Structure 1
Amino acid sequence: LRNHIQDLVLHLPVGIQYTLPSTLFTCSQLRHLNLHFCSIYHPLAFEGFDKLISLELCGVSTSSELLESLISHCPLLEKLEMSILEDLDMIEINAPMLKKFSFTGDISSICLKNVPRLVEASLIGDVEQTESLDFAKIFESCSALEQLILNFLNSEFVAEEGYRVPRRLPVNLNNVRRFDVPDILLVESYKLSYTICLLRSFPNLEYLELQVVDEDDSDTDEDEESTEESLQPETLSDLTFNHLVEFQLGSFIGGTSEMQFIKHLLANSPVLEILVINRQFLDEEPLDTREEIFTEISNSPRASPKAEIVYKDFS
């Protein structure tokens, strides 16, 4: 405090419950604050970090209310990274200058309440209850969002009988240009339904990357009912990619759902320039099987005369 510290990085060992001293919250010159594995309980008299532009919180112990208060008292905050390991109530993010947001934890506990300048977002984690995942609330004020990474990891999606995922968001996010889904199972499942819900809401998407989980993998954490059916054409019937330029498909094995998605995308992407397929796992198949798959993809109707299909091994 006496030295008017501007950058503070405090990484403590896992398991040690160290409570930050209240004097930290009087460091009015802080610009960058990085805290790992400690307890945060700022005093009631906390007036905020008026100059803080980046905040990283990993494995911290606190409450939803204190997190909300801390973030909202950083009026110049541009970058926020949070890895929340404990179960918290809904966390409303009120950061009008925020440009980049990364969150790991229960995705359904996040509400981007006031982030009109947010450009990049990364949401990684699980969902406690399928019905609790409300993308309309999560992306409530993300009109400037351009890039989104969404990773549900290995969490199970289970809902009560009769529950249906919304087909799209209440409003389109017209500025989204890039959408990355690093772990997706292309079968009839809630994860896929939520992903397609977002795709329908990104009308100006230019770059799409899907890292596919082996749909024939018996060790998947998806519930048995959801993994029995392949992707159906009607699921994609109203999904178009009018501005998509590049599509990257990872861990391709030539499964029924993968082929269905590729064919639909080629037929509904009028300005597509390149489709990149990671053939690493497909190379384990017999040569005649690979040739049959390649031929089927090559002969699929294309809306774009410029569309090029490239097979790569990213291993």
Structure 2
Amino acid sequence: MLKIFCLMYCHGIPCNLEIVNSCLQSFNFYGEFQRICFKGTPRLKEVTIFDYKHNENVETTPDMVAFFASLPTLQRFSADFKFLEYLAAGYNNVPTKLPAPLHKLKFLQICNFDFGSLRNVRAIVCLIMSSPNLFELKIQMDTELNQPATNDAVPSLVTLLEAEHCGGSGLLQRLKVLEVAYVRGTQVELELVRFILATAPLLERVHILPCRRKLKLRKAFKFIKTMMQYKRASKEAEVIYAETYSALRR
């Protein structure tokens, strides 16, 4: 039986995918779709959806709760922020938590992240809040945005997370690795790093990679200096700033 499914570069051919496979362990999709639905995938551990483009000519009702409820064994989830935007589009108010927590999810990666929309930010808050055993969190900023998010966007992410943390939610109690890529040195990015440094008691590494086209040397130095002054819940937490991914992996 098929254990790994990979479909790439499906542009111009919108796919309507209903995945039914009791042995499937890894699903990787890059391209345009009308609908993606998982049914009968009790062993599916890894889901990757990138280069997402939803076919707006087809009427579908996205359901974030139902999507993740169909993935009870999910351990690794990687997606373009546009896919989260699609999942959140079916809600006037995105739930703070999923009804069924993602207990097995240990790795979460969101690419092309944009702080600009409260609804979309709530989608990633929902995922973080629903993943009590999250080990590694990677957020890659959108390098194509002409203007970074303003300070008005800070409450939409950090304040939501802080409210849940103060409520005794056990947020980020097992997080060990945070990676924030293509940063521009904005206040929003600083607030996110500050919150996680102050909250995660087992944090070991914080990886910071700049958007070299947007973050000049002087601003980068100020960004790093500010981060180094933040309080840390973990004495083991190390902040690592690298110009490239290859330098980070050395």
TM-score bin, normalised by smaller chain: 0.7 to 0.9
Rounded to whole Å, the distance in 2 between the matches of 1:193 and 1:106 is: 24
How far 1:245 moved relative to its partner? 0.7
**Aligned ranges for residues 219-234 of structure 1 at < 5 Å?**
229-232=152-155, 233-234=158-159
How far 1:202 moved relative to its partner? 1.2
How far 1:285 moved relative to its partner? 2.5
Change (3 A) 1:131 1:246: farther
Amino acid at match of 1:272: L
Equivalent residue, structure 1, for 2:127: 198
Determine which structure has more spread, i.e. the larger CA radius of gyration. 1
Amino acid at match of 1:121: V
**Aligned ranges for residues 108-123 of structure 1 at < 5 Å?**
109-123=35-49
Equivalent residue, structure 1, for 2:193: 262
Equivalent residue, structure 1, for 2:168: none
Equivalent residue, structure 1, for 2:236: 306
**Aligned ranges for residues 226-305 of structure 1 at < 5 Å?**
229-232=152-155, 233-237=158-162, 238=164, 240-281=171-212, 284-285=215-216, 287=218, 289-305=219-235
Change (3 A) 1:87 1:228: farther
Contact 1:92 1:113 in 2 (8 A): yes
Rounded to whole Å, the distance in 2 between the matches of 1:78 and 1:308 is: 37
Structure (1 or 2) with the greater helix fraction: 2
**Root-mean-square deviation (Å):** 3.2
Contact 1:252 1:282 in 2 (8 A): no
Rounded to whole Å, the distance in 1 between the matches of 2:145 and 2:34 is: 28
Rounded to whole Å, the distance in 2 between the matches of 1:197 and 1:293 is: 28
Q: Identify the match of residue 7 of structure 2 among 82, 106, 127.
A: 82
Rounded to whole Å, the distance in 2 between the matches of 1:108 and 1:189 is: 24
TM-score computed with the length of structure 1 as normaliser:
0.64
Q: Identify the match of residue 126 of structure 1 among 39, 53, 58.
A: 53
Q: Identify the match of residue 140 of structure 1 among 66, 69, 72.
A: 69
- What per-residue deviation string (whole Å, max 9, x for no partner) do you get for residues 199-227 of structure 1? 11111011111111259624x9xxxxx97
Rounded to whole Å, the distance in 2 between the matches of 1:227 and 1:86 is: 37
Amino acid at match of 1:151: D
Q: Identify the match of residue 146 of structure 2 among 217, 225, 231.
A: 217
- What per-residue deviation string (whole Å, max 9, x for no partner) do you get for residues 237-283 of structure 1? 22621111111110111112111111111111110000010135288
Change (3 A) 1:248 1:101: same
TM-score computed with the length of structure 2 as normaliser:
0.79
Change (3 A) 1:245 1:195: same
Could you say what secondary structure the match of 1:202 adopts? coil
Unmatched segments (≥5 aa) in structure 1: 1-75, 221-225
Structure (1 or 2) with the greater strand fraction: 2
How far 1:130 moved relative to its partner? 11
Rounded to whole Å, the distance in 2 between the matches of 1:153 and 1:313 is: 26
How far 1:171 moved relative to its partner? 0.7
How far 1:186 moved relative to its partner? 2.7
Contact 1:209 1:249 in 2 (8 A): yes
Equivalent residue, structure 2, for 1:56: none
Contact 1:215 1:227 in 2 (8 A): no
Rounded to whole Å, the distance in 1 between the matches of 2:150 and 2:59 is: 16
How far 1:116 moved relative to its partner? 0.7
How far 1:113 moved relative to its partner? 1.6
Amino acid at match of 2:4: K
User: Please, which moves more after superposition, 142-151 or 186-195?
Assistant: 186-195
Rounded to whole Å, the distance in 1 between the matches of 2:124 and 2:107 is: 13
How far 1:97 moved relative to its partner? 0.6
Query: Percent same amino acid at aligned positions?
Result: 23
Rounded to whole Å, the distance in 1 between the matches of 2:40 and 2:85 is: 30
Contact 1:108 1:133 in 2 (8 A): no
Contact 2:14 2:34 in 1 (8 A): no
Equivalent residue, structure 2, for 1:100: 26
User: Please, which moves more after superposition, 142-151 or 206-215?
Assistant: 206-215
How far 1:187 moved relative to its partner? 3.4
Contact 2:176 2:202 in 1 (8 A): yes
Q: How many residues of Structure 1 are paired with residues of Structure 2 in the alignment?
A: 231
How far 1:136 moved relative to its partner? 1.9
Contact 1:214 1:253 in 2 (8 A): no
